[in-house]
Amino acid sequence: MKKRLFALLCALVLLTTAIPSAGALAGEANRSADILSTLGLVNGTTNAGYDLTAPATRAQAAVLLVRLAGAGEAAAADPWFAGYRDVPAWCKDAVDYATHQGWLTGVTPLDFQPNTAITANAWCASLLRMLGYSDETGDFSVSDAALFAQRIGLISVAYSGALTRGDMFEIARDALTFSYKDGSGTLIEHLADSGCTSRSAASALGLLATGEDKLSQAQQLLLGTLTIGASDTVTSFFLTPYLEAFHRQHPGIRLKIVSGRSAKVLSMLKSGAVDIAFASSPTDPAALHTWSCFATHSVFVAGSGYDCDFDHVYTRQEIAEFPLILLERKASSRVFLEQYFLQSGITLTPEIELSSRSLLVSLARIGLGVAGVTLEFVQKALDSGDIRLLKTDFTIPARSVDMCTLRDVTPTAAASAFMEMVRQDAR
């Protein structure tokens, strides 16, 4: 029996982790690919369009890098040979030239590994070097190149690990309007001035606006980026209608949603990685402006067929003696729940710990134990009868999910407009 339950649990975990969690990514990646294609910087694959979800390879990165630099002809004419023995003909000129310029390096002196997926740090490091920054003189280090790129505004969102083609295109799109370190203009301005891309196309895409124009357009919410940090649950339960309405009203504003638990998104807010964070009961009033959006309540549920008395009123100790299904320890709701029980001298020892809120309900439904859940997030499952609420002689204090910004940072026009939309609806 235990083996069957374990196998079922594994299957559920695999099923959940296989479901993409970044639905907006495809739209942004497509938009980025279309922009780069219009400028003549990328082509689709022969049989899969842009193939945005495929890994971005080191060879593809080298070719795009040279095109972004407007150096296609220079690369073809450069006789310098990098010495790599594994580079195919279609990307050889680009790889040799990018290596010669110091923008890229091989994995070994003889091997470039063209088919290996490029990482966020490697791609950002290459772009930074091409723009005049140097890891040799201490501008940045390769190990945190993506973070440095985000801090200086080259990219708007934190990327990590291996990139997809869509990720690579999004970063390249962001880089187009970034200035060279020497102040000689933006990447797209260099491309247009050199005739490597169409000035009219770049202007039509809004990429050649002056700094004054961009400021005016940002203030009028005609362009810009709004980056919001929130958990997947808060996004689906609360934010989705606001995101939809904001996008309808301000289609020129690029929306980026960074998924993470409360501690993560608050950390990103303080580092400048997001403009607005939605977090549970933040405890830093000196650094944050907060607006309470909704309250959450911790409760315990079990499958409708679970071997317990749903009419019984359970004590804290009785709840603790059930086989418990809880979120992982780093989840703020788990910490809050444990602290509440510890006030009565009771330690919660779960039999199953999960990173997914939806799996809490799934495993409770099939009878693996009693799950500690957030009432507001499981109401549909309760209404359907799949799970039932356990009665208790105690009530766990409510927690507030707050909209947060930094006190010492003036919000952008886009952030201010989004926050006002949320506030107006809540009044």
**Fold of the CATH domain 298-397:** D-Maltodextrin-Binding Protein; domain 2 (3.40.190)
Q: How far apart are CA 264 and CA 267, in angstroms?
A: 5
Residues of the chain with CATH 3.40.190.10: 221-295+399-427, 298-397
In this predicted structure, what is the pLDDT of residue 50?
A: 83
Question: Quick one: tokens of 249?
Answer: 């009203």
Question: Quick one: tokens of 408?
Answer: 């010492």
The answer on pLDDT for 357 being more than 90 is no
In this predicted structure, what is the pLDDT of residue 216?
A: 56
Least confident of 92-101, 216-225, 313-322: 216-225
The answer on pLDDT for 238 being more than 60 is yes
Type of residue numbered 403: M
| Residue 134 DSSP one-character state | -
pLDDT band at 3 (very low <50, low <70, confident <90, very high): very low
User: pTM value?
Assistant: 0.53
Question: Quick one: tokens of 279?
Answer: 């977090």
In this predicted structure, what is the pLDDT of residue 293?
A: 92
- The reply to whether CATH 3.40.190.10 applies to domain 221-295+399-427 is yes
Q: How far apart are CA 38 and CA 205, in angstroms?
A: 9
Q: How far apart are CA 171 and CA 158, in angstroms?
A: 10
Q: How far apart are CA 346 and CA 329, in angstroms?
A: 16
Q: How far apart are CA 271 and CA 150, in angstroms?
A: 10
pLDDT tens for each residue of 139-189? 889 998 988 888 777 887 778 899 999 999 999 998 998 888 887 888 998
Q: What angle do CA 184, 63, 93 make, to 5 degrees?
A: 100
Return the percentage of the chain with pLDDT > 70, whole number: 89
The answer on pLDDT for 267 being more than 70 is yes
In this predicted structure, what is the pLDDT of residue 263?
A: 86
pLDDT tens for each residue of 99-113? 999 999 999 999 999
